[in-house]
């Protein structure tokens, strides 16, 4: 039995889509909202089964991974998040690269020698790796319409993964995977399944529309910080808004804080696009923080720690700017 474990964002979806176009098979799908990354513990596998893991940190899944390997279950692990110590095992095959301009869809694209590169491009745009995606579009000789379609779909798929729970999402990522993975390119999906594409598109634009008059709660030379209310649209929009803000001012860091029912905050941090470092270090200074150099988050920032967070954000990028 094959088990496919993947992050419910564009990158996870586009990575698995490439793999299943190349090796079609019935598999058990294990996924969730973008922030639900402890996925491996949900795999119910037997000796002889094979597990593929895409776009979730090995560091957050190490115990479950070790348990699977000890049971004789082989694992192919492809990711670009912080991994920490990687277990040594003959039945574990890893492809992990934490460079700031790499994503999982791109690693799979390399494994498959560019065979489904439009899906990789879509995943790169989803992870806001615009330059990487533009370069691969050029190398793959996409015309402007094809490139635009990859960018739109990647952006919308990424947006769909955000939310506090599956109830906040427009589509369950598992449903989206089944719909998109039937098509060899994003182009073909968009032409054939208009209803799904339109719903993804309006989900994205309606949520972002609500933020158009939003003013920074804090800003200085190095960073901007925005607060969003405790509402489903706000939980969905935090990632897309962070990407949009970063793309607007490439030399500032950005933080978007969404208020939670308990009064604390869900935090999304983006390093300056021109200097993709430090986002993970900032977030890891708080108990529920983690992520990558360019993009990171904190699942629960105590309301009382807001001041400390702002100071940490600003001083980190002030220091980085001086380097």
Binding site for Mn ion (CB under 5 A): 11, 55, 103, 127
Structure tokens at 183: 């098509």
C-alpha–C-alpha distance, residues 107 and 116, integer Å: 12
Q: How far is the CB of 116 from Mn ion (least distance, A)?
A: 17
Measured from the CB atom, the residue of 11 and 49 that comes closer to Mn ion is 11
Measured from the CB atom, the residue of 55 and 207 that comes closer to Mn ion is 55
Using Cβ positions, the residue closest to Mn ion within the complex turns out to be 11
Angle at 196 between CA 194 and CA 200, to 5 degrees: 115
Measured from the CB atom, the residue of 66 and 101 that comes closer to Mn ion is 101
Q: How far is the CB of 44 from Mn ion (least distance, A)?
A: 25
Q: How far is the CB of 227 from Mn ion (least distance, A)?
A: 26
Q: How far is the CB of 80 from Mn ion (least distance, A)?
A: 6
- Helices 194-209 and 144-161, axial angle in degrees (round to 10): 70
Q: How far is the CB of 62 from Mn ion (least distance, A)?
A: 18
Please give the full DSSP string across 160-189, using - where no structure is assigned.
Answer: HH-SSSGGGSSS-HHHHHHHHTTSSSHHHH
Residues 47, 195: contact at Cβ < 8 Å?
no
For 160, phi then psi, to 5°, come to -60, -25
Residues 75, 62: contact at Cβ < 8 Å?
no
Measured from the CB atom, the residue of 79 and 305 that comes closer to Mn ion is 79
Measured from the CB atom, the residue of 33 and 103 that comes closer to Mn ion is 103
């Amino acid at each position: 039995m094959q088990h496919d474990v993947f992050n419910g964002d564009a990158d996870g979806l586009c990575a698995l889509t490439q793999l299943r176009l190349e090796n079609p098979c019935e598999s058990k799908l294990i996924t969730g909202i973008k922030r639900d990354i402890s996925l491996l513990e949900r795999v119910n596998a037997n000796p002889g089964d094979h597990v593929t893991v895409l776009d979730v940190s090995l560091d957050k899944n190490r115990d479950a991974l070790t348990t699977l390997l000890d049971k004789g279950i082989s694992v192919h692990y492809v990711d670009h998040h912080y991994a920490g110590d990687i277990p040594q095992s003959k039945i574990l095959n890893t492809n992990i690269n934490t460079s700031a301009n790499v994503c999982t869809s791109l690693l799979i694209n390399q494994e498959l020698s560019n065979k489904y590169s439009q899906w990789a491009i879509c995943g790169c745009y989803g992870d806001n790796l615009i330059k990487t995606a533009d370069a691969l579009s050029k190398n793959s000789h996409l015309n402007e319409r094809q490139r635009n379609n990859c960018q739109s779909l990647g952006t919308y798929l990424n947006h769909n993964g955000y939310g506090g729970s599956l109830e906040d999402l427009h589509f369950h990522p598992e449903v989206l995977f089944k719909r998109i993975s039937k098509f060899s390119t994003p182009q073909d999906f968009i032409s054939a399944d208009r209803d799904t594409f339109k719903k993804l598109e309006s989900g994205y634009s309606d949520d972002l529309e609500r933020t158009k008059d939003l003013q920074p709660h804090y800003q200085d030379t190095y960073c901007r910080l925005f607060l969003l209310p405790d509402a489903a649209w706000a939980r969905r929009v935090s990632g897309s808004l962070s990407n949009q803000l970063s793309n607007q001012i490439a030399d500032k860091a950005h933080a978007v804080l969404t208020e939670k029912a308990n009064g604390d905050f869900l935090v999304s941090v983006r390093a300056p696009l021109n200097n993709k470092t430090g986002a993970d270090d900032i977030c890891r200074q708080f108990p529920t923080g983690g992520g990558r150099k360019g993009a990171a988050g904190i699942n629960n920032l105590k309301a009382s720690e807001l001041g400390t967070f702002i100071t940490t954000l600003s001083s980190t990028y002030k220091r980085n700017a001086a380097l």
